[in-house]
Structure 1
C-alpha cells in the first residue's frame, strides 16, 4: 500500500522534472504521471517491469432480460478468441509489450485449454438474475475477490509492478451502472448507457429493468453488500485485484466503464487504492465521464472506446512508459551551462 508521500521525495522529484531541458511544465500530463509513479514506487528513479493485463470473464443472469444487444453465449466465444490470440486486447498487448492473462471466474461454459495465459478459477457459471435475487452469495463474491488477489500476487511474484485490469461479460454494463448509481448517489438514468449498442427502445427497457433491480436491492448500501447483490463475478475479481495491487505497491492501469465501476467499489473499501491508479481513457459509455469526475480522475486518452477487455490500458501504456523514460533519461539544464 502506498505510504504517506514523503515531502522530501516529492520535492526532489518535482525539482528533477522542472530542471529538465524544457520550459517549466511543458510536458504537461507526462510530468504529473512521472511524479505519481515515483511516489508509488517511493524512488526518484522508478522502473516499470513485466507489465501485465488481467482480463476476468464472467456471465450474468440478468442478460436473460435482454439488457444487451448480444446474446449471453458471446462471452464464451470471446474468451475462446482471447485464448486463440485474436481479440483487440491480444493485438494491443502484443504491440505494446504487455503480458495478457485471461481468467474464467464465471463463464457459462467449460474450456479445455490449459495455457500460461489462461487460468480457470470459476466460482459458478454466471451470476444469478439480480432482477429476482442477489447476483451472488457473500461466499461467492468473496471467492471472486480472492481470485483477483491471487492472480495479482502471482504476477507480482514474476516481477510485475504495473498491472491493468479488463473484463468480458455480456450484460456487464448493467451491474456497472447499478454500482455507479448506488456508490455515487447519481440518478440511475445518468448511469445507464447503450452498452454494446442498444436501440432507443432497448435502452428504455434496460433502464426500466435496472430501476426494478435497484428498488429490489435498495437496502444494500455498504460496498460489499452492493457488490454482492448487484455486481458480477468478473467485477468482484477486479475489485480484489485492485485492492491487492495497491497493497503490493503496484501501479494500477484503469480501463473503461466496467473497470472503473470495480474501482468505485475498491475505493469505497479502501480509499488509498485511488493513489495507485492511472486512468487510461474516457469511455464512450454513458456515465463514465461522471464516474471519472466523482473520482477526481483525469483520463489520458479519449478515443470513443467502448469495448472493454482492458483495451484502453494497453493503448495508454506507451504514454506511461514515456513519462518514466522522461524522468530517468532526459537531460537537465546542466548541459546548457
Structure 2
C-alpha cells in the first residue's frame, strides 16, 4: 500500500503512476469487434469495458469487490457564513450513514457496493483558510494516509464526501489549480441564496490572496485550501492508481480533490470515471479542465458519492454486455 509518510513520498507517488495494460485493452477491443452487434453500436458502453479491462488487466473485467467510501471532515471556514447548515450537521450525517438512513446507503446497496464511512477528526475542524493554512503538513499527510488505507481490496472504487462548507473549499481548490476567481467556481452548495453565493466567492478570493505564491505545488494547494475529507479523496485516488483500481468520482467536491494533482500530473485522471455532472455550476467547467466526460447528468448535487453510485449501474451494464454477449462465430452469424 502507498504510504504518504512525507511530502517527498507524496510527490514521488504522484509522479510514478503506472499506466493501463495496453495488451488487455487490445484484447478487450478485439472481443468487442467480434460480438454480435454493429461496430461501436454500444457507444460508451464499449469504451467503459475496454477501460475496465486495461486497469483490471484482463480481457473480461468484472466488479466483484465494488466499494464506496465516504470521507467526512469539518471546515473552519464555515465561520465565514458560507453554509446554510452548521458544522454539527457533518457528524449528524455520519451517524445517519452508520444507521443506514442516507441516500448513499440505498444507492450503494442498489449498485452492489459495500459502503465504508471514514470520519476524519470531526471534533477538530480545519483552520479558516482565509487567514491560515487549513492544515499543518502533518495533518495533511494524515488525511492522505487515511484515504490510501480506505481502498482495501476493491476492484472498483466509488469516492464521495460529507463536510459542511466543503463546496467553498472545493471552489478554492479549483481556482488555485486552474485559475479564475471565486465567482467563477462557487455555487449554492447546500442551498445558500444569492447573497450566500457572493459571500462564498469573497471567501475564496480571500483564501487565494492569503496564500498567494505558496499555492505552487499540489500538496500545498491541498493543505492550505482543502479539508481532511477532500485530501483523503486525493490520497485514495493516488493509492488506487498504484493498485490499478479504477475509480468513479462523484460530484464537484470529489472532482476538486483531483484538481491540484491534475494541474501537475494530467495523466492522474487516466484511471478515473466521472460518474455524473452535478448541478453545482462549477462542476462541468472543472470536468472540462480535467478532460473527463461524465456518464450521467441527473441534476444531482447531494454529494456522499450518490451520483457515482448511480453510475456504477451503467458500468455494470457495460461489463455485462462485454462478457455475456455471444461472438458472431459462437452465434453462427456471418459477417463478424
- Structure-1-length-normalised TM-score: 0.90
Query: Are the counterparts in 1 of residues 157 and 246 from structure 2 also a CA contact under 8 Å?
Result: yes
- Structure 2's unaligned 5+ residue stretches are 1-16
Give 2:5's aligned residue. none
Query: Partners in 1 of 2:25 and 2:91 — Cα distance?
Result: 46
Query: Partners in 2 of 1:161 and 1:5 — Cα distance?
Result: 15
Q: Does 1:49 align with 2:44?
A: no
Give 2:149's aligned residue. 150
Matches within 5 A, 1:4-43: 5-6=21-22, 8-43=23-58
Query: Are the counterparts in 2 of residues 240 and 266 from structure 1 also a CA contact under 8 Å?
Result: no
Shift of 1:4: 5.2
**Compared CA separation, residues 14 and 256, structure 1 to 2 (3 A):** same
Give 2:228's aligned residue. 233
Shift of 1:285: 0.4
**Compared CA separation, residues 54 and 4, structure 1 to 2 (3 A):** closer
Matches within 5 A, 1:11-160: 11-108=26-123, 125-152=124-151, 155-156=152-153, 160=154
Shift of 1:168: 0.5
Q: Does 1:169 align with 2:163?
A: yes
Give 2:12's aligned residue. none
Query: Partners in 1 of 2:315 and 2:20 — Cα distance?
Result: 22
Shift of 1:323: 1.0
Give 1:251's aligned residue. 246
Query: Partners in 2 of 1:18 and 1:4 — Cα distance?
Result: 20
Give 1:3's aligned residue. 19
Query: Partners in 2 of 1:43 and 1:91 — Cα distance?
Result: 30
Shift of 1:27: 0.6
Matches within 5 A, 1:188-267: 188-219=182-213, 220-267=215-262
Shift of 1:266: 3.5
Report Cα offsets for 1:250-290 as digits up to 9, x if no partner.
01111000000112234346544311111100010011001
Give 1:317's aligned residue. 312
Report Cα offsets for 1:203-240 as digits up to 9, x if no partner.
11221122111111112221111111110010011111
- Structure 1's unaligned 5+ residue stretches are 109-124
Report Cα offsets for 1:146-191 as digits up to 9, x if no partner.
1111122xx21xxx21111111000000110010001112333211
Query: Partners in 2 of 1:106 and 1:270 — Cα distance?
Result: 29
Query: Are the counterparts in 2 of residues 284 and 306 from structure 1 also a CA contact under 8 Å?
Result: yes
Query: Partners in 2 of 1:48 and 1:251 — Cα distance?
Result: 10
Query: Partners in 2 of 1:212 and 1:12 — Cα distance?
Result: 51
**Aligned-pair Cα RMSD in Å:** 1.4
Figure out how many residues of one structure are paired with residues of the other and give that number.
315
Query: Are the counterparts in 2 of residues 223 and 269 from structure 1 also a CA contact under 8 Å?
Result: yes
- Structure-2-length-normalised TM-score: 0.90
Query: Are the counterparts in 2 of residues 2 and 272 from structure 1 also a CA contact under 8 Å?
Result: no
